[in-house]
Structure 1
Amino acid sequence: MAPRPNRTPPQRPPRPLIPPIDVSDLTTYPLKKRHSKVRVADFARPWTRGGSFEQFFASLPDLLAVKTVRAVAAAIATAHRQRRPVIIGIGAHVIKVGLAPLLVDLMERGIITAVAMNGAGIIHDFELALMGHTSEEVDAEIDEGRFGMAEDTGRILNEAITLGAQHGQGLGEAVGHYINRYQGQFPNRATSILATGAKLGLPVTVHVAIGTDIIHMHPAADGAAIGATSLLDFRRLAAVVAGMEGGVYLNVGSAVILPEVFLKTVSLGRNLGNPLTKITTVNMDFLSHYRPLTNVVRRPTQKGGKGYALTGHHEIMLPLLAAAVLEQIR
């Protein structure tokens, strides 16, 4: 068999390299004429032992998140002075990390005028008021089907909700009044956001998705009562949001439920003739999520107002913000 002819293509010569750009005619300007985002005057100052919180807060660098904290604190203080609503929506984690006393204090001072929480919030608030402890080890309990099976929690909370439905109360109002009515059973009720709201007549609303909370597994759960009381709370929160022109809404630690609820209350309020063009919205969480940034920070303020995002751990950021607000008001 005859050998095949060599079909190797001819080698092309390499392309010449592109010469480096000539920068000899570059246009420059003096540094002193350039706008700069960071200045020495904005730097942090070293801490002096024994100083006050006011001195500590003033010593922080006036940059990035610190500027945001200061702007949010100023917005809350201004809303308080002008008697405008300051509403805080909280995920249950805020209660679990020990921050209820701070919120109770701000409610009693008249700074926080309304609280919204998800369904898990009432569980931790209730258990802390009743027993002084909360938050079970889910990993240790789920394998044996023990997760969420605390008898007291399921029975008493469902009883409070059912009684509330019978008396035309919202879910948060129902549980708060129950704790205050049977206060002898709740030695730690001073830490309860629900009980404080009921005592002061401040709206504490609860926004439930059926099946997300441990009390929904218990035989005492009444879907009609849960739905009726939570719907009433949604409409009550919508009434507060409709009147929050010049006010502030903070979403702290809720990634899905409360951002969705808040967006609907804004739409409902505007549909009924409330422009809501001068509002401040804030999202605070230790991770950035789509819904809070979209449905709290951006969409409600695109018509007017200002939206802020603060990323950090609740147990650090919320006490810092609360103290900054109190200093501004003082």
Structure 2
Amino acid sequence: MAKPPDRKVPLRTARALIPPINVSDLKTYPLKKRHSKVRVSDFAEPWRRGGSFARFYRSLPDILGAKTLRAVAASIAAAHRKRRPVIVGIGAHVVKVGLTPIFVDLMNRGIVSAIAMNGAGIIHDFELALMGHTSEEVDAEIDQGRFGMAEETGRMINDAIIRGANEERGLGEAVGRYINDSPGLFRNHRTSILAAGVRLGIPVTVHVAIGTDIIHMHPSADGAAIGATSLFDFRRLTAVVSRMEGGVYLNMGSAVVLPEVFLKTVSLARNLGHPLTQITTVNMDFLSHYRPLTNVVRRPTQKGGRGYALIGHHEIMVPLLAAAIYEELG
């Protein structure tokens, strides 16, 4: 049987093509009637060699981060004028990038009312006061089992905590007193936040998670003493937060522990009758993290107040903020 010839099947369009929309009837309005978020009057000014910080501060654009920086500095200045608390929560990184003199100066001027630290923060503050150096090379020490095994750090800080528990003190006060009691040994005590807190009568509280700090590996560690002194500090911090109406809380460089602690102090204070309806909260870090944005910036201020976030390296942003505060205070 002969094979039938091939037939070419015509191509068929599944559906008709949609023509482009006719825009001839588009409605417009004058540009001058539109709200705009950016104006020439908000622009930066070029720097002139030999200028002052005041001029530099005024020259920043009034846009985004620079606008937030001004708002935070103004909020802190306003709280200080009204004698409302300005509380700073700092992670250990903030200490070991050389910023303790900035915080001690803010404490000396009466601008910072309280400081909250995590457990690692006291280790760096202590070692700097004792030896003038801190921050070991973890990668180089971990393989040999030497990481965290500095004898003086483990023995002396644990001794200070046990003394503090016996005297019914907070952890921060206990270590601060230990430093101040031996100024000849702690030659850099003037740059210690812990020592300054005791000297000035400013609460410096420490909030510990057991097992996170190198001193917990040492045989001198006393879990009961660590727990008792840290719980004391949690309640002391809550006492400061309870009076924070019109005040400011700043979280700097703590991604988990201190945001969680602050949220609980707010809840406890409100439960005990302190409404905290007009507070300012700020998160400052070089990365954006979930807990600080949620537990510091958003949740505590959803009842009232303002929350801000500033992203940047601490060693640049903290001195810049401190200088901005001084300019706002005149």
Q: TM over 0.5, yes or no?
A: yes
- Superposition pairs of residues 72-87 of structure 1, within 5 angstroms: 72-87=72-87
Match of 2:117 in 1: 117
Please give the alpha-carbon distance, in whole angstroms, between the structure 1 residues aligned to 2:25 and 2:295: 49
Matches within 5 A, 1:16-95: 16-95=16-95
Query: What residue in structure 2 maps to residue 166 of structure 1?
Result: 166
Aligned match of 1:253:
253
Is 1:235 aligned to 2:235, yes or no? yes
1:256-295 matched pairs, under 5 angstroms: 256-295=256-295
1:152 partner letter: E
Q: CA RMSD in A?
A: 1.9
Give the deviation of 1:12 after TM superposition: 3.7
Deviation at 1:328?
Answer: 1.2
Deviation at 1:242, TM superposition (A): 0.5
Q: Residues of 2 paired with 1:36 and 1:25: CA distance?
A: 25
1:76 shift after superposition: 0.2
The whole-number CA distance in structure 1 between the counterparts of 2:233 and 2:182 is 22
Deviations 1:247-273 (A, max 9, x none): 000000000000000000000000000
- In structure 2, the partner of 1:314 is 314
Instruction: Name the SS of the counterpart of 1:99 in structure 2.
Output: helix
Q: CA deviation at 1:9?
A: 9.8
Aligned to 1:302: 302
Kindly tell me: are residues 269 and 9 of structure 1, through their superposed partners in 2, closer, same or farther at Cα, counting changes over 3 Å?
A: farther
Q: Which amino acid aligns with 2:294?
A: T
Which residue number in structure 1 is paired with residue 96 of structure 2? Answer: 96
Q: Which residue of 1 aligns with 2:176?
A: 176
Counterparts of 1:179-198 in structure 2, within 5 Å, are 179-198=179-198
User: Is residue 142 from structure 1 mapped to residue 152 from structure 2 by the alignment?
Assistant: no
Q: Structure 1 CA distance, aligned partners of 2:93 and 2:57? A: 26
The letter for the 1-side match of 2:228 is: A
* Paired letter, 1:151: E
Q: Deviations over 1:52-110 (max 9, x none)?
A: 10100000111000110000000000000000000000000000100000000000000
Q: Report the count of equivalent residues.
A: 330
Q: What stretches of structure 1 move > 4 A for 4+ residues in a row? A: 8-11
Q: Deviations over 1:1-34 (max 9, x none)?
A: xx9xx9x999543432210110000000111111
Q: CA deviation at 1:142?
A: 0.5
Deviation digits for residues 192-211 of structure 1 (CA, Å, limit 9, x no counterpart): 00000011111000000000
Q: For 2:238 and 2:38, locate their aligned partners in 1 and report how far apart those are by CA, in whole Å.
A: 41
How much does 1:46 deviate? Answer: 0.5
1:163-189 deviation line (CA, Å, top 9, x unaligned)? 000000100000000000011110001
Letter in 2 for 1:273: G
Cα deviations by residue, 1:225-261 (Å, 9 ceiling, x for unpaired): 0000000000000000001000000000000000000
Residue 97 of structure 1 aligns to a residue in which SS? helix
Secondary structure of 1:144's counterpart equals: coil
Distance 1:222 1:202 in 2: 26
Identity %: 77
TM-score by length of 2: 0.97
1-side partners of 2:94 and 2:189: how far apart? 17
Give secondary structure in 1 for the equivalent of 2:184: helix
Q: Does 1:225 align with 2:214?
A: no
Counterpart residue identity of residue 58, structure 1:
R
Per the TM alignment, residue 295 of structure 1 is displaced from its structure 2 partner at its CA by 0.2
Corresponding letter in the other structure for 2:260: E
Structure 1 partner of 2:200: 200
> Match of 1:98, SS?
helix
Distance 1:227 1:21, change over 3 A: same
Q: How many Å separate the matches in 1 of 2:15 and 2:305?
A: 58
Q: Distance in 1 between matches of 2:17 and 2:81?
A: 69
TM-score by length of 1: 0.97
Structure 1 gap segments, 5+ residues each: none
